[in-house]
Structure 1
Amino acid sequence: MRIVIAGGHGQIALRLERLLAERGNEVAGIIRNPGQAEDLRKAGAEPVVLDLESASVEEVSEALKGADAVVFAAGAGAGSGTARKETVDRGAAVLLADAAERAGVRRYLLVSSTGANPDHRGDDVFDVYLRAKGAAEEDVRSRSALDWTILRPGMLTNDPGTGLVSLARSVGRGPVPRDDVAAVLAELLESPDTTGLTLELISGTVPVTEATKAAASAR
């Protein structure tokens, strides 16, 4: 498969790129900063320099030509203000979905967040983030031209992955290593039965492959 990852230099994205490349996939990562290109190459991914906050649908769809799947793993980052939650966490996710439709790429994975809700209340930056993620989810769910899956990880950590997770429509709150988030995303890309599902993810006791199969069968 050829897989294009938006937010290609993110902590989850770099882990996912390595996993996918090791499995023999062709991987590309969309980045804004050309100075990050070498990090992607070391991870086994082709860097595509494109600013999703200013690019047109046509430019993004050109970058997606020939892809079998896209993953939205971009984020404005912890130090960003409220405006970029809207332009990146919502706007860029919607743009990628528009471009995927235009390029004829059906498989779309959206990395969201536990608690994402377009109607979430509050004025703190994290509240705005949850609303933006929720609005992105709502937009993606409305698209019949996409075979979408939404993944909502819990609190992200840099602890080594265990390969053991809890993955279902609702799992409650808890932490999860970024290693395991990447492993679940890699598995979801090979699991068409998870199309149309919104899944929550935290650390657990079930191996990733088994957890993914169980989540797909529990429709």
Structure 2
Amino acid sequence: MDVFIIGITGKIGRLLARELLAKGDTVHGLVRRDGQRTDLATQGIHAVVGDLTDLSVTELADAFGNADAVVFTAGSNGGSAQTMKAIDGDGVTLAIEATRHAGIQRLALVSVLPESWRERDLDDEVEYYFTVKKQADVALSRSDLDWLILRPSLLTEDPGVGTVSLGPAEFHGQIPRADVAATLAELLHEPHVNRRILELNTGTTPIEDAVKANARASDGRAHVEQGDARSPGKQ
């Protein structure tokens, strides 16, 4: 595959790039500084310099090149409301429009579990962050793209363990970023998992098996939908 990562210099973005390269994929990405581009070039990654908040739809679409899929892993990590809106909100909208403009179908978004931090007394800025992230999920899920939204639990720096719990609804716990990246790499290579929101937590299922299980679930859903279309009015 040829994959373009928005947020490739972030923690998950770097790990995802490494996973994809290990699979033999071609990896591209968007960076803000020339130094970052030079650093990635030593790893066999071609990067385009640009600021997500300043690029036009056409400019970002051109940066994608011949990508088979686009992954949005960029994030504001909190900060001001203006920054959150620009990256976590408008940035995703821009990526959706640019992906469509480029004629690319596959767009994967790394989001957040809605339950995150709900045990805490959250201030207005954090609540706004969750609102913007949810708006981005809604925007992508309503697009005509071959989309995928991955919602991981609380991210940690622990080494990956290679096992997860992955499905439409998962408990909120914590998970190493390395396992998030490995799961996302597997999902990108599984075309039968599409137009779905999946939540991700630590678990006991090997990542490859967890992705295959969700692919089978997607196939079953498609068969049900086709059956409903052939037999209108039947319950």
Which range, TM-score by smaller chain?
Answer: over 0.9
User: Are 1:91 and 2:90 counterparts?
Assistant: yes
Structure-to-structure mapping, 1:81-120, within 5 angstroms: 81-115=80-114
Larger Rg, first or second structure (1 or 2): 2
Q: CA deviation at 1:216?
A: 2.4
Q: CA deviation at 1:133?
A: 1.0
Q: 1:81 to 1:140 in 2, by over 3 A?
A: same
Alignment correspondent of 1:126:
126
Q: Distance in 2 between matches of 1:207 and 1:96?
A: 31
Structure-2 residue corresponding to 1:55: 55
Q: Which amino acid aligns with 1:189?
A: L
Q: Which residue number corresponds to residue 223 of structure 2?
A: none
When residues 165 and 96 of structure 1 are mapped into structure 2, their CA distance, relative to the original with a 3 A threshold, is same
How many residues align structurally?
213
Structure 1: unaligned runs, 5 residues or longer: none
Deviation at 1:42, TM superposition (A): 4.2
Corresponding residue number in structure 2 for 1:69: 69
Q: Distance in 2 between matches of 1:35 and 1:96?
A: 24
Q: Percent identity among equivalent residues?
A: 41
The CA distance in 1 between the partners of 2:44 and 2:21, in whole Å, is 6
Shift of 1:24: 1.1
Asked if 1:198 is matched to 2:197, the reply is yes
- Correspondences of 1:110-189 after superposition (within 5 Å): 110-115=109-114, 123-144=123-144, 146-189=145-188
Query: What 5-or-longer segments of structure 2 have no aligned partner?
Result: 117-121, 219-235
Look up the equivalent residue of 1:197 and give its one-letter code.
R
- The whole-number CA distance in structure 1 between the counterparts of 2:165 and 2:42 is 30
Instruction: Report if aligned partners of 1:116, 1:131 keep a CA contact under 8 Å in 2.
Output: no
Q: Secondary structure at the match of 2:161?
A: coil
Equivalent-residue separation in structure 2 for 1:185 and 1:172 (angstroms): 18
Q: Does 1:12 align with 2:35?
A: no
Distance 2:154 2:124 in 1: 18
TM-score, structure 2 normalization: 0.86
Q: Aligned-pair distance for 1:116?
A: 7.7
3-state SS of 2:192 partner: helix
> In the alignment, which residue of structure 2 is the partner of 1:34?
34
* Residues 1:212 and 2:189 are matched in the alignment: no
Relative to structure 2, which stretch is displaced further, 180-189 or 28-37?
Answer: 28-37
* Secondary structure at 1:108 match in 2: strand
Residue 94 of structure 1, CA deviation? 1.0
Letter in 2 for 1:54: D
- State the 1:110 CA deviation: 0.4
Q: Normalising by structure 1, report the TM-score.
A: 0.92
**Deviation above 6 Å: which 4+ runs of structure 1?**
none
Distance, in Å, in 1 between the alignment partners of 2:157 and 2:198 is: 21
